[in-house]
Every structure is written in C-alpha cells, then in structure tokens.
Chains A and B, each alone.
Chain A
Amino acid sequence: MSDGVAAVSKFLTWSVVDGPGNRFVLFLQGCNYRCVTCHNPHTIGVCSDCGACVAVCPSGALTKDGRKVVHDPGPCISCDSCLSACPTRANPMVRRMTVGDVLDLLRRNAPFLNGLTVSGGEATLHLDFLIDLFTAIKAAPDLAHLTLFIDSNGNLPAEGWQRVLPVTDGVMLDIKAFDPERHRRLTGADNDLSLASAKLLADAGKLYELRFLLIPGETDHPEEIAALSDLVHELGPDTRLRLNAFQHHGVRGPAATWAPMPRAGVEAAAGVLKASGLAEVVLPSVWLP
C-alpha cells in the first residue's frame, strides 16, 4: 500500500496515554471499521479530492490544484470546518510522509521520547509502511532504544501480524464488543479477526494492553463484561486491561445523542472484572466533568 509513504493525519511529540513513558504518536489516516462511537471520525475516510471542503474553508488554506485538494498550514486557523463538511469523513489536512520524514521528526525529539506508537485510523492498514518504518528505526543506532508500539482494532489476519511483529515491541488492542451482532452494529465489521488477534498477540508476548470501550446500554451489559473477563482469563489473567468510557467528544451521527458512560458504571464494571480475578484493570486517569 505504501512505497514508504503514508497519509498522516496528525502527530504528537508528547503523549503519556499511548504506552509506557512519553511517546511520539503518529496517527495514520483511514480505517476499516465504521464505529458509530468514533471520537475521531475524520480519521476514517480517504480523501477523494471532491473539493467540498474547499468551499467552506474561511482562511483560504484549502485550494484546488488541478484535481488535487491542497492544504497550506500557513493560513490555516484550525477551525475544523473542513472536517465537518467532508462527506467521506476524510481530512484535507492530511499530509503524506515518508519513512525518512518520520525518522527526522523522531531524531529532533529523541531526547524526550521513550518510544513511538502508531495509531489511526487503523494503523495496520498501512502495514508495509509500518514494517519499513519500524525496520528503519531498529537499524538506526540513535533511535534503536525507542520501543515501537501499534494501536490497533485487531482487524488483521495472522499473516499480517506475522510480518510486522518481529519489529514491533507491543500492541494496544481494542475489542469493541463480544456479541457478533452488536459488534457489527457498532463497527460495521465482524469481530472474529480481532478476537483471534488478541490470542495471537498474547501468545507472542506482544499484547501490551487490551482496551475496551464501555458504552451505556451496549457494551456495559453483564454478558459483555462476562465475555471480556473470559477472554482476559484466556489470554492470561495478568493481561493489562484498560477500560475507557464513551464520551460525546468529537462523535458525529446518532451516537452523539447517546448517554455518556458515567464514572460509577465504569467503576462497577471494573469491580466485577477484578472480582473475577483479573490482575490489572486500568481506569481513565482523568474523568471529564
């Protein structure tokens, strides 16, 4: 998919919530799920250069150059009008970056970093880029100390994991739901691949953290929590499990009217999971008011 180039929607030089230590986070554009609860829906689509966003841009940062829509960061005022105007949940501000570009950025910030986490969208859609990037980092003496993580929904077959895992230090895996019907309704996709990925990653010793989003009336059902407990027991009860709470932040479409997940509900679910024998259940470190 890449020739050493990927569509990057954003990067951060400071993140303390994407793995151990301070991590450089690279957000790649495009996702194979269509989660109704997505907090970053503008990372899902791939730009078709339709031009709908150019008309709404108040600053002239977006222009058409031939068939291509071009973004100029200079005048951009970060109003995000283009994001809401896009019919395909893409982002005209995405920039194409080479492996070399990313290495430059890492070098500039290396003294501050413990590692790199590639997120999305869905990072594994850019598998060749990931492999090229991680291989290059591991081969660079000044960067080889960085730990390399992938944040994924797990919708990748075993063959894919086998290619990327040798250069990957850890994976943070999101399980969206256990009931197949619910998973399809929430994400537009089946969950068999992602459940298989959880087992594969745990067996390979590369599952850094399993993540589960609690949505009231959906994934906080007792049978979902019980299935989550069963899965973690199967993976090894020491597996680090992180519970996230559904919020409206950034959500578009019908889920924007759903109730947010209350703190008490998260704590109740965590109580049940811990009582079932799970060793490490991590709760959100900040509760939004």
Chain B
Amino acid sequence: MTETLSQLRRIAQNPTLSFKQKEHALAVEAENMLPYVLLDAETRAALDARIICDMYEGNAPYKPRYVLPDYEVVLKNGSAHLELPKPETLDEAINTLQIAYHHVPSVTGMPVFIGHLDALLLPFCDGVSDNELYRKIKLFWRYIDRVLPDAFLHADIGPTDNRVARAILKADAELKQVAPNLTFLYDPEVSGDAILRLCTDNIIACSKPHIANHPVHREVFDEPGYAIVSCYNALPLRGGAASLARVNLKKVAEASSGEADFLDVQLPRYVNLNARLMRARVDYLFRQSGFFDGNFLVEEGWIDKDRFTAMFGIFAMAEAVNHLQDLAGRPGRYGHDAAANELGHRISARLAELVGREPMEHVWRGVAMLHAQAGLSSDAGTTPGVRIPYGSEPDPVSHVQALLPHHKHYLSGVSEILTLDETVRSNPEAVFQLAKGALQLGFREFTANVTGNDLVRVTGFMIRLSDVKLYNAAKGSRVNTTALGAEAAETVHILDRKPRVVGLELMAGSGV
C-alpha cells in the first residue's frame, strides 16, 4: 500500500504533467489497486515473465481498448441521449462530431478514431466554396490538436479523390500538428494517381498521411467496413477492439532449443497462453464491467457489441529470428539475409495458423486478429512488430521486399516505418513511386518518415522532435504522447532509425 501511495503522490506532484494528464494517470493507478482479472497459474507466470504482455491496459478492463463509432449514425439521426438534432449544415456537422468525440472511450482516455471524415462531411458541402471548406477544416484541425492532443487519435480519408480529402491534406501539411494522425485509404481502382501524389508530397512535408491498401483491408471486413485507427490498427467499424495482448517473440525464441522447438512447441504454447490472457480480459469487459449495458452508444447504434475483435499482437520478430539463426549457427541477419527473412515469414504464417485455432467468446467472428504490434515505450532491446531493427534497415526498396510476405498474415495491421533521407525532398516522384510499388505488391500499409522533418513517427504515433527536446529539458508538453515518445527515444533508440544518404552508398564497394 505504501508503494501505491507514493506512486499516487508522485503523479499528483509531478511538475511536468498537466491536470488532465494527472487525472488520467491517477485513474489508471486506481484501477490497478483492484485485483487482476482471474488468470490460471500458467498464464499468470507467463505474464509475470512478460513473455506475454497485456499492454498494461489495467487490472479491470471496464472499457474496450479501441472504440470505432459509426459517426454516420449521429450525423444522420442526431442523438436523443446527447439532445442533438440532426445536423443540416457543415458547421453543424463539425460541431456534432466535436461533441461526439467527448463521449467515445478508449484506452488513452481520448478517442482513437474520429471518423472517415471526407465521407462524413461531403454530404454537407454543397454550396460551400473550396476556400470556405479549407478554412473550416483548419479550425476543426486546430480544435482537435488543442482539445484532444493525443497522437493515437486518428482520422481516415479516401479512397475517393474529393474536396474534403484535399482540404484536409492541404491543412494538415500546413499545420504540421501531432493530432490528428491521418490515414488515406488508397484504392488503385478509385483513388487515382493525383491524390496519391498529394499524399506522398504530404509525407515529405510532415511524415503524414499513412497510406492503407484499401482493397486488401476491405476484403477482411464485412459491412459497414473498417477503419484505420491509433498505431495503424485495422478494426471493424461500429465496433473496435476489446483488448490487445501480445507475445514477445524474442523471449519465446530464448525459451526454445532451436527452430523446430520454437515452431512446434514453444510458439503454440505461448500463443495459447496469450489467448487465455485475452479471454480472461475480454470476459471481464463483456460480463462484469457493464460497459455495454445501458450504454447510449450501443442503444443509439454508434457501436455494436458484436463488432469488437480482440487483437493478438506480436513483437520482436527480428530478435527472435536472429536468436534462432544463432542457435542454428547461421550468420544471416533478419532484414538482410534471404534465409533469415524466410524464417521470419514462416513464423508469421505459423502464428496466423495458431491464432486461428484459438476460439474467443464475445469476439467478432469468434477468433482474434493477428497484429504486428508497434511497441511500447518501455520495450528495450526489442524491435516493434516484424520491423527490421533501428539503424540497420536496408534501402527502402529492399526493405519493402524483405517484409512484404509478412503482410498478408496481419489482418488487424502491420505497421512498418520506412526512413527516407532528406535527398528525397528534391525528388518527390521517387516517394510516389515507392508508395505505389509497395501498395501494388500488396503491402497493407505504407508509412514513411523523412529525416529532417520535425514531425516524425515514433513507434507508430506522431511526435515533434522539438517537443522531445523541450520535454527532456523538464518542461511539460501539451501533447500526451510526448512523454511516451521521450521515453521511447531513450530506451529503444527510436531516433536512431538510420537515414541513408544514398549518394554516399557507393563508397563501400562491397558486393550487391
């Protein structure tokens, strides 16, 4: 108890946290004073050893991890509970959304999804000039960043090329804000090159948007579809994810005597334990927390209790593969060596197979969805998801080629960050071609940072480098995720993601 009290005191007295941030941190601590959801001993031991991990979601899950409301409902019908009439004008529609956001729970305390904004707002844009639209979007953007300053908060646009999407891209490049994070859903049949090119030009300006492969995602989900939220998770719209728990593949590899033991014994064992952990947490949410009972979001149809998946995360693929390579006496490293990469692809295929064999009650379609998890700021010595370790990534094309075969297995998302050096600024056509090539070959999502941008992606969320510097100088940051980012920069060397000055590569004359 004294330990808990002093932790509460540390939060209450922390000079770098704002009032709101303290409130959230105190609530997390209070939840964790409750006993943990009921686990069997074996699962508990694996969790304590952090071979499996609950993302520190809290001891008593009383809200789903990610909630993806169908905002069309409130725009079409208004809300009886919130006493909102059906909006008629663009101003009213934006105002209705701004109110709606405050009633959407999530693990961060702020919504992780704020809507397919172009599809939602287009019906209200008749008679609104382009210039007016752009000015309204700018104000909307300012509101989001200042009132809901969380980089996990995510807006989607696309797949059509339309006025609202263009106004958003224009405002986003100009404002270079942390929030909202942004994804363009790209469909080669519908989107066209012009808006894709706008997106890749925006990436050069501000490392956003993230580009999702719409046809690939669409075929995974039924009506009313999906959205990309938070750190590039693809989840059912009008639902979301009840929970996320993940397996540390590095630790599983370390518990294995070799490749066969890993694939046939240890991986099945820890996939099963992680599934047990997920079941316990999901069960608590659905049967004990009362979240869905009498909830106006359910009653008015913003969310549907049956559309919440469970995300089965994995991370540290790179370390796992390299460890198994060491055990086999093979020098090839993950990301660079064809045999090592191929081992990684087999692990992903095996994971998909194993996860598909773990039934889950309450969960959308009865099984969890595999996810290459982008990491927590406390992950030292491991690489997020299936990524290639920081600082050792090959050139972007080889990078995409090395990871491509993983992508088909990660139905709820696989986030990869390509680091591009500053020379691309004078050659934006190259970024366009890279994105197009990656998406054409089946990359689920295309995400890039250009070095020299103040605004960069850390493990999956956006952060301003200048904020990190300020935070480290012990000044508080207005933005919630800066604290996470600063921790990530120090513990997992996130800012070491190697920029490649391509013009110098020839200096080492080594073979190809």
Contact = CB atoms under 8 A, between A and B. Distances in A.
A8 B427 CA distance: 26
A15 interface: yes
Contacts of A109: 397, 401, 437
A283 B190 CA distance: 38
Report which residue of B396, B502, B510 has the largest number of chain A beta carbons within 10 angstroms of its beta carbon. B510
Contacts, number: 109
Contacts of B506: 10, 27, 39-40, 43
Q: Which of B395, B432, B441, B507 has the most CB of A within 10 A?
A: B507
A73 B338 CA distance: 13
B425 interface: yes
Contacts of A9: 509
B454 interface: no
A111 B441 contact: yes
B406 interface: no
Contact of A91 (B425, B503, B507, B509): B509
B13 interface: no
B422 interface: yes
B33 interface: no
B423 interface: yes
Interface stretch (A16-24, A134-142, A259-267, A271-279): A16-24
B437 A111 contact: yes
A161 interface: no
Given A15-B502, A16-B427, A21-B429, A76 B507 contact: no
Contact of A21 (B400, B422, B433, B441): B433
A75 to B, nearest CB: 8
Contacts of A212: none
The interface size bin for chain B is 35 or more
Given A10-B509, A95-B512, A286 B501 contact: yes
A251 B437 CA distance: 36
Interface in A163-177: none
A86 to B, nearest CB: 10
A112 B437 contact: yes
Contact of B502 (A16, A21, A71, A113): A16
A285 interface: yes
B511 A42 contact: no
Contacts of A11: 512
Contact of A14 (B397, B425, B509): B397
Given A22-B397, A111-B440, A112-B438, A17 B429 contact: no
A114 interface: yes
Given A114-B433, A286-B423, A286-B501, A71 B511 contact: yes
A12 interface: yes
Interface string B487-512: 00000000000000111111111111
Contacts of A20: 427, 429
A78 B508 contact: yes
B509 A43 contact: yes
Nearest to B429: A21
B173 interface: no
A41 B493 CA distance: 35
A40 B395 contact: no
A12 B502 contact: yes
A16 B437 contact: no
A158 interface: no
Contact of A282 (B398, B426, B434, B437): B426
A93 interface: yes
A208 to B, nearest CB: 13
A93 B433 contact: no
Contacts of B502: 12, 14-17
Contact of A10 (B396, B398, B511): B511
A83 interface: yes
Highest count of chain B CB atoms <10 Å: which of A73, A91, A111, A113: A111
A286 B437 CA distance: 26
Interface string A81-121: 00100000001010100000000000011111110000000
A91 B508 CA distance: 11
22 contacts: A10-B505, A10-B511, A12-B502, A14-B397, A16-B430, A17-B427, A20-B427, A21-B430, A22-B430, A40-B507, A76-B510, A78-B508, A80-B508, A80-B510, A83-B509, A108-B401, A109-B437, A112-B433, A112-B434, A113-B433, A285-B425, A285-B426
Interface of A: 8-17, 20-23, 27, 39-40, 42-43, 71, 73, 76, 78, 80, 83, 91, 93, 95, 108-114, 249-250, 282, 285-286, 288
Interface of B: 395-398, 400-401, 421-427, 429-430, 432-434, 436-438, 440-441, 501-512
Given A12-B395, A40-B507, 11 more contacts: A14-B395, A14-B396, A16-B424, A16-B427, A22-B427, A93-B509, A93-B511, A95-B511, A114-B433, A285-B425, A288-B501
By Cβ-Cβ distance, the 10 closest A-B pairs, closest first, are A111-B437, A112-B437, A78-B510, A22-B430, A21-B429, A14-B395, A13-B397, A16-B427, A16-B430, A250-B507
